Amino acid sequence: MSQPTIESILQENRLFPPPSDFAENAMIGSMEKYKEIYDKAKADPEGFWAELAESELDWFEKWDRVLDWQPPHAKWFVNGKINISYNCLDRHLTTWRKNKAALIWEGEPGDSRTLTYAQLHREVCQMANVFKQLGVKKGDIVGIYMPMIPEAAIAMLACARIGAPHSVIFGGFSAEALRTRLVDAEAKLVVTADGGFRKDKTIPLKAAVDEALQDNHAPSVENVLVVQRTQEKVQMEPGRDHWWHDLQAGASADCPAEPMDSEDMLFILYTSGTTGKPKGVVHTTGGYNLYTHVTSKWTFDLKDTDVYWCTADVGWITGHSYIVYGPLSNGATSLMYEGVPRPANPGCLWDVVEKYGVTIFYTAPTAIRAFIKLGEHLPKARDLSSLRLLGTVGEPINPEAWMWYHKVIGGERCPIIDTWWQTETGGFMLTPLPGATPTKPGSATLPFPGIITEVVDLEGKPVKANSGGYLVVKHPWPSMMRTVYGDDDRFRRTYWEHISPQGDQHFYFAGDGARQDSDGYFWVMGRVDDVMNVSGHRLGTMEVESALVSHPAVAEAAVVGRPDEVKGEDVYAFITLEGEYDASEALENDLKQHVVKEIGAIARPAAIQFTDSLPKTRSGKIMRRLLRNLAAGQEVAGDTSTLEDRSVLDKLRSGA
Ligand code: WT7
């Protein structure tokens, strides 16, 4: 089990102060310094952010108000004009960083490429001009469905350059999931590749785009731009589909960055919630640029000598904020890797660390648990001495995995930053600052300066130290999501109405439970809603249920997360069948495949249990809590008195 328990937290009293040589050279090198900055920011958040916006970013025109807060809507740097692609590229070209590596890319088949800031700028400008040529205008939304290749980052920056918000759709999503996202955003252009390499196979991305667009099912899409990657044969529809290399050849490298309003939409990113329909999280330009810039700078303690590697995919927020925008805005060197460990080369990540002398390595607890399984002989056979800082994100990290990471990968000399945040928050909320914060294995420690977090009850009252409650943010911050695309009402309901504090207060709550220990450290306990965390990927139980019930054999489906040693959780589905169908292994496989088709391989149920009935309350609500216990093989805990038919439980336990 990966989720921490209250017992394990109360017993966890190991404390790791920042190594003294790290602290000496760090931007923020002591707890006193952190507290000083934190207190200053708390006393005057607007002044704090304004000072940083002034010193850290380039603006075409200065804002006239720092914050306009009409709960739950915030506007930051009102009427300021800025372009994040300019801040990530152009401003570095007038410094020595012009010829510094911006992106180092290592491809799965072993090919590689390095783009300096000047080269990246050139390609971004060319792609931006190609977008314009294809009719994309400021405000038009561009879908990006790509493998982990430099062109994914280039496409994002090209969108930002001309003010066309992007909607990146993870390359592991199915054609059906791609279609619903393209339709919801009314995307005009899709940028994709012929395919991507995944382990020993290729993923047919272009074919998935064809399927998504077939029979005019995503009518807003006018053009498809295709990057050649795998060289596999694809259908190119005349007039609609274009090869990137064909158009790049004729494209000018001159494309000035469009001055954008601070509050112009930068991107939409879909994420799972408690209902079947994924929501489009909207982020805007100025505040997001500032927040990802400052958090990257201080939390990774970025230096010009660093080779920084975040192993996430650009299809998730981690890739947006901490592969592309945050590091590049700082002029850092960001490494992108297309591969994943596979039987032919289980130590490939450590080869990459050694090959490029990676200094900062940022990954997920599920990956660390997989490394532990693969064996410590793999990292031990490589030279990892270049590493100076390690990070984790995506789910609570179990202290054993933390200790292994510290010892085997970090050689006991690298601080570990456990960063808690979400698609919605845009950037780190709780995190150690590596030269300042003493760490405790399993705790995301303390809030970033300018962030005010608390653990509260449903009335918004703080709970006692070491008791569980809801993790909330009490003051707006620059990179907070602005709304749910096309559904502002859902934005209010989802994030701002669960907790009802007294008076005129408004607390942001996005679904995590937490505790604060007697030192004030935060321990995130995981989701308290119907959202699963499978290998660090966020999946709604209802989303998988709707996929299952769209199969003709399924009458009813209830999905829960089941604890898994490596993945954190896996998907466990209870199914009742329509009368004319019988349970069989073939049907089970068919249903799993159906979920892969509807959502993607990340949602594939690990197990399906057929049953005649599901446990429900008298009012007809499925009692998922009981199903979670059953799936985990635990005794059914808590109150079962609201159960309508108690015999259902016995049947389920006996597997019927
Ligand atoms: C959910 C957000 C933020 C990028 C990756 C996932 C969980 C994330 C931690 C952490 C405990 C964490 C939370 C959160 N989570 N980081 N360090 N400790 N839990 O982004 O898909 O928006 O998921 O991931 O449950 O709500 P996401």
Q: Check: CB of residue 198 under 8 Å from CB of residue 315.
A: no
Over residues 380-387, the mean pLDDT reads 98
Match 């994309």 to its residue by tokens. 136
What is the mean pLDDT of the segment spanning 422-429?
A: 98
Is 452 within 8 Å of 506 (Cβ atoms)? no
318 contacts 310 by C-beta, under 8 angstroms: yes
- Could you give the 3-state DSSP secondary structure of residue 583? coil
392 CA distance to ligand 1 middle (Å) = 10
Q: What is the mean pLDDT of residues 340-355?
A: 94
Reported as half-sphere exposure (CB side, CA atoms, 13 A), residue 302 has a value of: 22
Per-residue pLDDT, 621? 86
**C-alpha of residue 605 to centroid of ligand 1, in Å:** 21
- Region 523-546 average pLDDT: 94
Listed residue (302, 264, 12) closest to 137, CA to CA: 264
For residue 640, what pLDDT is reported? 79
pLDDT number for residue 10 = 61
**Torsions phi, psi for 474 (to 5 deg):** -105, -5
pLDDT of residue 7: 64
| C-alpha span between 452 and 384 (Å, rounded) | 36
**The pLDDT of residue 1 is above 50:** no
**Helix, strand or coil, per DSSP, at residue 280:** strand
Give the confidence band of 13 by pLDDT, cuts at 50, 70, 90.
confident
What would the mean pLDDT of 222-244 be, rounded to a whole number? 98
- What is the CA(423)–ligand 1 centre distance, in A? 8
Q: What percent of the chain has pLDDT over 90?
A: 90
Residue nearest to atom 17 of ligand 1 (CA): 420
| Average pLDDT of the segment spanning 527-540 | 93
Q: Is the pLDDT of residue 500 over 70?
A: yes
How far lies 560's CA from each of 344, 540, 564, 573, in Å?
33, 9, 12, 6
Residue with CA at minimum distance from ligand 1 atom 20: 422
Q: Whose CA is nearest to atom 3 of ligand 1?
A: 422
pLDDT tens-digit map of 164-223? 999 999 999 999 999 999 999 999 999 999 999 998 899 999 999 999 999 999 999 999
Pocket of ligand 1 (CB under 6 A): 271, 317-318, 393-396, 418-423, 444, 510-512, 524, 526-527, 533, 538
Q: Ligand 1, closest atom to CA 397?
A: 18
Section 45-63 average pLDDT = 98
pLDDT above 50 for 592: yes
Average pLDDT, the chain: 95
Q: What is the mean pLDDT of residues 281-303?
A: 98
Q: Which are the contacts of 248, defined by CB distance < 8 A and separation ≥ 6? A: 123, 126, 127, 130
For 544-573, how does the pLDDT look when each residue is reduced to its tens digit (9 = 90+)?
999 999 999 999 999 999 999 999 999 999
Could you give the angle at the alpha carbon of 322 between the alpha carbons of 118 and 400, nearest 5°? 140
Ligand 1 midpoint to CA 256 (Å): 36
* Alpha helix positions (H), 26-174: 31-43, 45-56, 84-85, 91-93, 117-133, 150-162
Residue 4 pLDDT > 80: no
Confidence of residue 2 (pLDDT cuts 50, 70, 90): very low
Q: What is the mean pLDDT of residues 361-384?
A: 97
Measured CA distances, 462 to 448, 449, 470 (Å): 19, 20, 9
pTM of the model: 0.96
Please give the distance, rounded to the nearest whole angstrom, from the Cα atom of residue 421 to the centre of ligand 1.
5
| Across 335-364, average pLDDT | 96
Instruction: Compute, in angstroms, the gap from residue 123 CA to the centroid of ligand 1.
Output: 33
Work out which ligand 1 atom sits closest to the CA atom of 538.
21
Asked if the model's pLDDT at residue 133 lies above 80, the reply is yes
